[in-house]
Structure 1
Amino acid sequence: MQNTEHEKLSTARQPGRRSWARSPLLSVLALLLGLGTAQVASAAAIHAVGVENQYANVISQIGGKYVQVSAIESNPNTDPHNFEASPAVAREMVAARLVVRNGLGYDSWAKKILIADANPKRQVIVVQDLLHLPDSTRNPHLWYKPETMPAVAKAVAASLSALDPAHKAYFDANVQKFDASLQPWYAAIASFKAKYPHTPVAVTEPVADYMLQAAGCDIKTPWNLRAAIMNGTDPAPQDVSIQNQLFKSHLVKVLLYNQQVTNSLTASFLHNAKAAHIPVVSVYETMPTGYTYQSWMLAEVQALRAAVEHGQSTTALK
């Protein structure tokens, strides 16, 4: 679903996510109000922005030589929850003819920027809307859902075709190539689910939950604990106790650990899992350097399988 971000600004906090609005954004918005309508990108290529770098990667694969793509959140070594939009980011966003963002409160700062410089000619894809997900959806990490990126790729092709009708066949052909390139990931998920059904796992956050569910895993970590860590709030002591008991009693086969959001509590879970000789698999909210979306997702499933089959930890994707 494409839209032009004409929704009214809301100060309500998105359910299940920490508040993303920060005071520096106010100055960014003030700057934007003085920028006027975004200028059209060079005729040589369509200027596109993927707010999260995994979406930028898909735009690049579909648009090929006819797009110039920028990613805003692209550092896998930082906490994306703490991202603050700078004036340079604001200028990059409003200059784009196509923007893809996640939604579900994950990148609400981007929504505010686009509303502040509304441009009816700008194509905007909100993945939440594309998947018809309500605001109450608890897990915003939509790129781990196997159904997400085929829908994004198709929507990107449609938006690019609207901006550059002469190359519609090229964009559509790239969608077919992209869909075919996802098959190894799908096959790896299906193979794991068939060989290791209902594998019990622990997590620090619901980052990879959609993929784990598709692979038939049984996520033993209480939801309230996952949500508390995700939202930066204090978890209930009983939930922390349940998590630690999973390690102590060897009730899980693997811990999936969010490398980008760490604190003393998650570090204690990592320590306790290692002490119990439970393998650890690192997962990411931002696509690591050197990967495409497809190879990143496949690497995560392969790391999960190596943990279950061989007790092998993957503490960082290289």
Structure 2
Amino acid sequence: MIHFNSQKASLSSMACRRMRRRAPDLRTALPPLVVLCAGLGMAPIAAAATIHAVGIENQYANVIGQIGGEYVTVTAIESNPNTDPHTFEASPAVAREIAAAQIVVRNGVGYDGWAEKILAADHSAQRKVIVVQDLLHLPKSTQNPHLWYKPETMPAVAKAVAQSLTELDPAHAAYFTANVRKFDAALKPWYQAIASFKAQFGGTPVAVTEPVADYLLQAAGCDIKTPWKLQAAIMNGTDPAPQDVSIQDQLIKQHQVKVFLYNQQVTSALTASFLGKAKAANIPVIGVYESMPTGYSYQSWMLAEVNALRNAVKHGTSTTVLK
């Protein structure tokens, strides 16, 4: 069975989020990382002679586990769905964990630049490093780093993980390939839910705080009314332009949107104000996540987000916390 190692992580305040994403320090000790076995339906039993892999974000660790199965031991670094991953600061213990890994999957696009620095400082020709940004052929200037909400992302990750596992353990190549097929098949309900929503509710106007779920909303045919500059300012922890805040307020006050989506992992006085106004206007709200919530696999998490969107539009139901 798969064994998921536990490390410690430390998170700072939400100030200077963009700066810290690119230049964190290695001073603080980490809280226990979330064990991902629940998301895979597997018990944390150690296996001998398994490949040691690290997913910087827990959604990528989950995919590694699904593809590697009993032949991989996976550690997730950023796992807490109740904290802001943009403010993550790595400790020396995390640096050692990453340096010891045979496979590392990280997001790229500046989202986990601290991990890039650790890997550069301890280069290993034997280590397989999968950068999702590169798999999708995205430039560094890509504005929205939340790549796991793109429907095409994880099939590419799963395939790359299988290739890396096969290079390290060619005797089990057929096993890894079969798990990729299972993984892809398990994504079909999500894809069908997206297509169904788009066919029935395409063009639905929505407002957001950050671009966390923008890729999914776009795939579902939603019309994101919130100004991009406002989304980017909130994401990066900078002061938004007053005129953009005013536009968002009017979208809500005048019922120009049917759903309000907010990053429930990152809140501020401004986002709380938007949320309160949406509730007062009886606009259904949805709390979306940057880190995979406990108890989900990647596939079930994404499907739950689409179901929440459908329930909001069709029934006016709010979903602030996935359960």
TM-score by length of 1: 0.89
Match for residue 74 of structure 1? 79
Match for residue 5 of structure 2? none
* 3-state DSSP of counterpart to 2:26: helix
- Stretches of structure 1 lacking an aligned partner (at least 5 in a row): 1-16, 29-41
* Structure 1 residues 118 and 27: alpha-carbon distance in aligned structure 2, compared to 1, 3 A threshold: farther
Q: Equivalents in 2 of 1:74, 1:144: separation in Å?
A: 16
Alpha-carbon distance, 1:18 to partner: 1.6
TM-score by length of 2: 0.88
Match for residue 246 of structure 1? 251
The ranges of structure 1 where at least 4 consecutive aligned residues each deviate by more than 2 angstroms after the TM superposition are 21-28
Match for residue 25 of structure 2? 24
Alpha carbons 1:202, 1:252 under 8 Å: kept: yes
Match for residue 6 of structure 1? none
Alpha-carbon distance, 1:283 to partner: 0.3
Picking from 273, 293, 304, the partner of 2:278 is 273
1:61-100 alignment runs, 5 A limit:
61-100=66-105
Q: Deviations over 1:265-315 (max 9, x none)?
A: 000000000000000001000000000000000000000000000110001
Match for residue 173 of structure 2? 168
Picking from 123, 147, 150, the partner of 2:152 is 147
Q: Equivalents in 1 of 2:283, 2:102: separation in Å?
A: 47
Residue type matched to 1:129 in 2? D
Match for residue 229 of structure 2? 224
- Stretches of structure 2 lacking an aligned partner (at least 5 in a row): 1-16, 30-46
Residue type matched to 2:25 in 1? P
* 3-state DSSP of counterpart to 1:25: coil
Alpha-carbon distance, 1:197 to partner: 1.2
Alpha-carbon distance, 1:25 to partner: 3.3
Q: Equivalents in 2 of 1:128, 1:195: separation in Å?
A: 32
Q: Deviations over 1:54-89 (max 9, x none)?
A: 000000000000000000000000010110000111
* Structure 1 residues 143 and 23: alpha-carbon distance in aligned structure 2, compared to 1, 3 A threshold: closer
Alpha-carbon distance, 1:26 to partner: 8.1
Alpha-carbon distance, 1:22 to partner: 3.9
2:144 is equivalent to residue 136 of structure 1: no
Q: CA RMSD in A?
A: 1.4
Match for residue 263 of structure 2? 258
Q: Equivalents in 1 of 2:268, 2:28: separation in Å?
A: 30
Q: Equivalents in 1 of 2:290, 2:174: separation in Å?
A: 32
* Structure 1 residues 278 and 68: alpha-carbon distance in aligned structure 2, compared to 1, 3 A threshold: same
* Structure 1 residues 243 and 27: alpha-carbon distance in aligned structure 2, compared to 1, 3 A threshold: closer
Alpha carbons 2:81, 2:291 under 8 Å: kept: yes
Match for residue 105 of structure 1? 110
Alpha-carbon distance, 1:27 to partner: 9.9
Q: Deviations over 1:191-220 (max 9, x none)?
A: 000000100000000000000000000000
Residue type matched to 2:154 in 1? M
Match for residue 300 of structure 2? 295
Alpha carbons 1:18, 1:231 under 8 Å: kept: yes
Alpha carbons 2:27, 2:92 under 8 Å: kept: no
Q: Equivalents in 2 of 1:175, 1:88: separation in Å?
A: 31
Q: Equivalents in 2 of 1:26, 1:131: separation in Å?
A: 33
Match for residue 4 of structure 1? none
